Structure 1
Amino acid sequence: MKTQLDPLPMKMKLLLSILILSLIGINSKAQEALFGAQQIISPEIHDDSSVTFRFFAPSAKSIQVTGDFLPTVKIESPMGEMDGPGKAELTKDDKGVWSFTSEALSPELYSYSFIVDGLKTTDPNNPFLTRDVASVTNVFIAGEGQAALYRVKDVPHGTVSRRWYDSPGLGMDRRLTIYTPPGYEQSNEKFPVLYLLHGAGGDEEAWIALGRTAQIMDNLIAQGKAKPMIVVMPNGNVIQDAAPGEGSEGMYKPAFMIPKTMDGTYEGSFKDVIKFVESNYQVKADKADRAIAGLSMGGYHTMHISRYYPNTFDYMGLFSAAIMPREDATNSVYSDIDGTLKTQMDNGYKLYWIAIGKTDFLYDANKEYRAKLDTMGMPYEYVESEGGHIWRNWRVYLTQFVPQLFN
């Protein structure tokens, strides 16, 4: 007499049934997400680089699009009157879809949002977003030309990593973002380093996300326009160990100006960053192979770090830089600005590069600073562009500055 063995004991059958039901539920949710999405193309980039934006809202009374592809308007900000994105009205069709088509746009990476009955919101049909301080906007790239440097191309790619380093000067472990060039992991070569600093309200994510640093570096290196180099993007907010949501303080709303901003603490502790990089990466640890650059607050930090450590960097880039400290700044970092600038000049360097837009609110401060350098006889190169205090300029400045390094 044969005994037929049950291939699946009861407990296993029960577990299998639960698993199957769970998978069915997950699949249903996935299908819901797929088929519940709006079947609308927005933004739609046309062959002439005009762009159509669409938003489905049958009950809305008015919808506008706002973004840096539109003519700028003056807005009030914590830093005073600045250039801001304009607005354009969308029109509604009989299906409840609102739309607006722009003029042909020059090649660039653009950001935008919608305003629906007065409420600012992102585009539900565009999953590509960036955060600037606490504002989240959609992005798109139109055209080639300059914009081609911001695209991912079929070229060798570098590596972007987030690392934690010990900062004795700030009494904490801190996070930074590092780009290493294509082939770094397989190479025994030592590379030069660019320290790239963000502006007020930014963090170690700003240059890699808003500045398109990895794409720019990959493309410039592939074109032979830039030397392979390591790019270090630290967090310049000394009370943070990392960007909001990435550090020990958890998830909180980012702020533009936080305590101890631009008070000399960051400049005084910056050697902690250099020490970590030169202890953990294949780098050429000498002045001729170090560069430092930054935008706005990062330009301020660049100016003061490079003169406070006046024999450390051969290349400096000040992008739309804030310049002089507040009158109430008492940190010893600011105690002898002219003297340390003279020492920096006397030690010699290869490039001191200043760039700013004609309508930047910091234009006059940069003009005064250049007059100071002229009086001292301190050599520099100067670039003046259209526009104001905007990422469009800072990305361009990076593409202009990097090819001049380490030659």
Structure 2
Amino acid sequence: MKNLLTFLLLAFLLPLSAQQSLFNAQEIISPEINADRSVTFRVFAPHAHKVELSGDWMPREGWNIVPKIMTKEKDSLWTITIPPLPSELYSYNLIIDGVKTTDPNNVYLIRDVSSIFNVFIVGGGKADNYAVNNVAHGTVAKRWYDSPGNKMKRRMTVYTPAGYENSGKDYPVLYLLHGMGGDEEAWMDLGRTSQIMDNLIAQGKAEPMLVVMTNGNVSQQAAPGQSDKGFYKPTMALPHTMDGQMEKTFGEVLDFISGNYRVKKGKDNTAIAGLSMGGFHTLHISRQYPNTFGYMGLFSAAVMPRSEEMPEFYQNLDESLTRQKENGYHLYWIAMGKTDFLYNEIKKYKKKLDYLHMPYEYYESEGGHIWSNWRDYLTLFVPKLFKRP
């Protein structure tokens, strides 16, 4: 009986103690977006000697961000307020005594390959396209499909527009491909695809459509931690990267979607786009699958594989592009940042398209090989789809 009473007393007191610790904890807001769009960051680090802020809006030296030193205030609270930022989705880390970490006061995180970042949105402009607004929302599903060409089951992400489940209608489809190191979660998490689609459709700027985001790394079943390989550190260096295997087996993705979803048939109702490696895949899939795609989007795309021996699938480029032109299409859209490391590669590719008299539209933005550009490109590209005279 005595042990039982002791147990009951502890069961009563421990939650009270935990709640007391919770309610007595210092209330820290970080980041705090101020009325003028300046942003204040705070972290409680009583034993730290140096705390820095590293954000994707900051200047860089090469590939490396130049961080800002935070100031230690009273009660061991380190703070910094940065100047007003344009409307955008931003990512950042804290660096405490040389160790990069996340902000413990910000629960909003994004994984990019093997790195974790905190994120925040400065609204009142283009970032409103990426926000969850009070509009009808589509459905996002993670689907497994058979891939005999890769000898495994694989996973894709599928967005269906609001009302799909009950409409009974058929819809056009956009296949949206990620870059090197990404996976079937990249366009959803980093690219904010479902938010962009919900908002554009609700505004009447885009046709309701499916968006299919498959995993372009054919050596993977799914995103890290989502397959029977368990938990492992993600890496950008994966087998079968740009060797033709992704393109050769892409028909399995097309077959799964046409067999499991209500989609309109034909190239008039089928689009494909991608960023970086995904733009590379878009270029080569579209030219090797005749009369399949009527709309192509190359976002900061690589053009040819960087290998000493050219894989067979990527040979005969001029002949296949000519065939693609003769088959006909509605839109060949290329977007590139002025400081992107692939800028000259696309410049050279445009000359080839001009030589072949192959129609295309070109959009050039500021900035480089960054998600800020790719979200913008998607927002500009989607309204151009499936709206024919």
SS at match of 2:67: strand
The equivalent of 2:167 in structure 1 is 187
Q: Which amino acid aligns with 1:294?
A: G
- For residues 274 and 291 of structure 2, what CA distance do their matches in structure 1 show? 19
SS at match of 2:252: helix
Q: 1:389 aligns with which of 362, 369, 376?
A: 369
Q: Which runs of 5+ in 1 are unaligned?
A: 1-9, 76-83
Q: 1:377 aligns with which of 354, 357, 366?
A: 357
Q: Is structure 2 residue 31 aligned with structure 1 residue 43?
A: yes
1:100-115 → structure 2 map (5 Å cutoff): 100-115=80-95
Larger Rg computed on CA atoms? 1
Q: What's the C-alpha RMSD, in Å, of the aligned pairs?
A: 2.2
Q: 2:318 aligns with which of 318, 331, 338?
A: 338
Q: Is the 8 A contact 1:48 1:104 kept in 2?
A: yes
Q: 2:281 aligns with which of 273, 277, 301?
A: 301
Deviations 1:148-204 (A, max 9, x none): 011100100000110000112111110011100000111110000000000000000
- For residues 382 and 73 of structure 2, what CA distance do their matches in structure 1 show? 48
Q: Is the 8 A contact 1:323 1:365 kept in 2?
A: yes
SS at match of 1:291: strand
**Residues 374, 141 of structure 1: CA spacing in aligned structure 2 closer, same or farther, 3 A cutoff?**
same
Q: Is structure 2 residue 19 aligned with structure 1 residue 31?
A: yes
SS at match of 1:288: helix
> Quick check: 233-242 or 59-68, which moved more?
59-68
**Residues 368, 244 of structure 1: CA spacing in aligned structure 2 closer, same or farther, 3 A cutoff?**
same
Q: Is the 8 A contact 1:163 1:177 kept in 2?
A: yes
Q: 1:265 aligns with which of 240, 245, 249?
A: 245
The equivalent of 1:5 in structure 2 is none
Q: Is the 8 A contact 1:317 1:354 kept in 2?
A: yes
Q: Which amino acid aligns with 2:56?
A: D
- For residues 231 and 267 of structure 1, what CA distance do their matches in structure 2 show? 18
- For residues 209 and 6 of structure 2, what CA distance do their matches in structure 1 show? 53
Compute the TM-score of the two structures, normalised by the length of structure 2.
0.94
The equivalent of 2:128 in structure 1 is 148
SS at match of 1:392: helix
- For residues 10 and 188 of structure 2, what CA distance do their matches in structure 1 show? 38
Percentage of pairs with the same residue: 59
Q: Which amino acid aligns with 1:301?
A: H
Equivalent pairs counted in the alignment come to 386
The equivalent of 2:44 in structure 1 is 56
The equivalent of 2:207 in structure 1 is 227
SS at match of 1:95: helix
Moved beyond 3 Å, runs of 4+: 16-38, 327-331
1:171-250 → structure 2 map (5 Å cutoff): 171-250=151-230
The equivalent of 2:298 in structure 1 is 318
**Residues 18, 108 of structure 1: CA spacing in aligned structure 2 closer, same or farther, 3 A cutoff?**
farther
Cα distance, 1:315 vs. partner? 0.4
SS at match of 1:244: coil
Cα distance, 1:27 vs. partner? 4.4
Q: Which runs of 5+ in 2 are unaligned?
A: none
**Residues 74, 376 of structure 1: CA spacing in aligned structure 2 closer, same or farther, 3 A cutoff?**
same
Q: Which amino acid aligns with 1:234?
A: T
Q: Is the 8 A contact 1:263 1:329 kept in 2?
A: no
**Residues 22, 199 of structure 1: CA spacing in aligned structure 2 closer, same or farther, 3 A cutoff?**
farther
Q: Is structure 2 residue 337 aligned with structure 1 residue 357?
A: yes
Deviations 1:191-226 (A, max 9, x none): 000000000000001000000000000000000000
1:10-29 → structure 2 map (5 Å cutoff): 27=15
Deviations 1:307-328 (A, max 9, x none): 1113110000000001112343
Q: Which amino acid aligns with 1:389?
A: H
